[in-house]
């Protein structure tokens, strides 16, 4: 019976999905004009200027439930841990309505469980992560189990835990601990020169400060204790101070069009003064742009990284995974990862269709830069994407298959 309803919902959603953009589900109150928009209690003071403007801009317009639903979600996002209910009531004059958002600060304990990483890669096999979150008021506790053979040059598997607290509206503190077991491919073992480790324990306290609404600064330290393979049972410590400046902004261009820009710069610096056996500095730049109109969505990104000094292998840059140069196998590019890289990607989506072009290069100091390209095509639905990715090169081309979420 449940299967039946899932099928029925899917078909019903397909019926709704087939409607043109200008004919959303009807609400008879759409013929009334909005007399006022209120947020109770406290008013709009705790909301961003853009959201306040958006809410007040709907006064005088005809009631549009989809717009107000979307704004209700944005209010909930901005007022963390709050539940938001929308109520539409008669206005003071006939043919007018007032919209009231009621904010209920949650004192109850909320539990969530998610799969932040699910991926099958035909060359790299499975990546799978499970995360549980318990949230009460301003406090969030999380636990995680993960096996990842995509992001780094190693497969790392293990468990982690985190705690996050938001003592003020613009400040958040977060602390994470994790224990990872590392596995290496044969080509990496052959190429490595005594830098491989068996396991690592990770400790990462950070503070995130919202400087202004689109700009945040993250400060912290990252401590990694490595259990080296050679010599056996030896330990090394990698301690780094890190700083990330991030800009995130989203604009609404119309009833069915948005654009967003996200840019960040991060630096991580490890030195002997922090007790680190590794001394290095790692820079990372990234910018992403998204434009969405109707069923069309464009995503463009550029990123680059620079690693100077002797760093552990988990800090090295990887291309040829589910996010960069998707048609390539990362071990064919560099089994030890690179210490410099640049990458750009153009991702187009129309309804369920997804097309991606990637270009980038990873190289080492004093080595030549070889620019590579790949193209991917596939389908995406409800957050699940299936892609076939090809390296664009002369000679034999072996397509790769990727299936999963969040890539």
Partner 1 sequence: MNSAALTVALFVTTLPAGDGLTVHLRNNDISVSAARLEVIRDPVLTRLKSGSSVAFDFHLALWSGTRSNLRRRAFERFVVSYDLWEEKYAVTGLRKPRISATRLSPEAVGPWCLQQIKLANIDLTRDERVWVRLDVRAVDPKQDADLFGADGVSLVNLIELLSRPAKRDNLRWTLESGALRVSELKP
* Residue ranges that bind partner 1, judged by CB under 8 A: 1-2, 4-5, 8-9, 11-12, 15-16, 18-19, 23, 25-29, 32, 63, 65, 85-90, 94-95, 97, 99, 111-118, 129-131, 382-384, 405-406
Phi-psi region of 62 (alpha: psi -120 to 50; beta: other; left: phi over 0): beta
To partner 1, the closest distance from the beta carbon of 177 in angstroms equals 20
Kindly tell me which of 98 and 188 has the beta carbon lying closer to partner 1: 98
Cα radius of gyration rounded to whole Å, the chain = 24
Whether residue 401 contacts residue 385, with contact meaning beta carbons closer than 8 Å, is answered with no
Kindly tell me which of 29 and 50 has the beta carbon lying closer to partner 1: 29
Kindly tell me which of 14 and 168 has the beta carbon lying closer to partner 1: 14
For helices 65-78 and 49-57, the axis angle rounded to 10 degrees is 160
Task: Look up residue 251 and give its two tokens.
Answer: 């604009």
Q: Which residues contact 351 (CB under 8 A, 6 or more apart)?
A: 295
Whether residue 98 contacts residue 38, with contact meaning beta carbons closer than 8 Å, is answered with yes
Kindly tell me which of 85 and 230 has the beta carbon lying closer to partner 1: 85
To partner 1, the closest distance from the beta carbon of 255 in angstroms equals 17
To partner 1, the closest distance from the beta carbon of 65 in angstroms equals 6
To partner 1, the closest distance from the beta carbon of 55 in angstroms equals 16
Kindly tell me which of 328 and 407 has the beta carbon lying closer to partner 1: 407
Using DSSP, state whether 235 is helix, strand or coil: strand
CA 113, chain centre distance (Å): 17
Kindly tell me which of 111 and 350 has the beta carbon lying closer to partner 1: 111
To partner 1, the closest distance from the beta carbon of 90 in angstroms equals 5
To partner 1, the closest distance from the beta carbon of 230 in angstroms equals 36
Whether residue 314 contacts residue 339, with contact meaning beta carbons closer than 8 Å, is answered with no
């Amino acid at each position: 019976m449940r299967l039946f309803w899932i099928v029925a919902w899917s078909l019903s959603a397909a019926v709704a999905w087939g409607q043109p953009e200008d004919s959303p589900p009807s609400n008879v109150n759409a013929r009334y004009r909005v007399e006022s928009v209120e947020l109770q209690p406290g008013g709009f003071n705790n909301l961003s200027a853009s959201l306040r403007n958006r809410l007040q801009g709907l006064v005088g317009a005809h009631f549009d439930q989809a717009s107000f639903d979307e704004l209700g979600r944005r209010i909930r996002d901005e007022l963390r841990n709050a539940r938001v209910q929308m109520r539409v009531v008669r206005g003071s004059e006939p043919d007018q309505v007032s919209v009231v958002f009621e904010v209920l600060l949650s004192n109850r304990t909320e539990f969530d469980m998610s799969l932040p990483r699910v991926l099958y890669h035909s060359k790299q096999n499975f990546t799978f992560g499970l995360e549980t979150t318990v949230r009460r008021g301003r406090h969030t506790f999380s636990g995680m189990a993960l096996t990842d053979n995509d992001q780094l040059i190693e497969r790392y598997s293990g468990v982690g835990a985190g705690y996050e607290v938001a003592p003020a509206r613009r400040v958040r503190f977060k602390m994470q601990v994790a224990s990872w077991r590392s596995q290496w491919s044969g080509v990496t073992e052959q190429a490595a020169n005594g830098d491989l480790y068996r396991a690592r324990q990770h400790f990462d306290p950070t503070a995130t400060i919202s400087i202004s609404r689109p700009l945040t600064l993250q400060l912290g330290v990252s401590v990694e204790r490595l259990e080296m393979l050679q010599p056996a049972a030896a330990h090394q410590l990698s301690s780094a101070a890190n700083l990330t400046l991030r800009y995130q902004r989203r604009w609404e261009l119309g009833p069915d069009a948005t654009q967003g820009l996200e840019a960040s710069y991060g630096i991580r610096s490890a030195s002997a003064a922090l007790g680190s056996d590794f001394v290095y500095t790692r820079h990372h730049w990234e910018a992403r742009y998204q434009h969405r109109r109707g069923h069309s969505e464009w995503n463009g990104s550029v990123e680059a990284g620079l690693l100077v000094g002797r760093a552990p292998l988990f800090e090295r840059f990887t291309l040829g995974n589910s996010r960069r140069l998707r048609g390539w196998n990362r071990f064919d590019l560099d089994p030890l990862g690179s210490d410099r890289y640049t990458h750009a990607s153009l991702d187009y989506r129309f309804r369920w269709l997804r097309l991606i072009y990637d270009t980038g290069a990873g190289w080492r100091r004093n080595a030549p830069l070889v620019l590579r390209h790949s193209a991917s095509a596939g389908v995406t639905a409800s957050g699940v994407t299936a892609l076939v990715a090809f390296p664009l090169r002369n000679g034999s081309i072996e397509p790769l298959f990727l299936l999963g979420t969040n890539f």
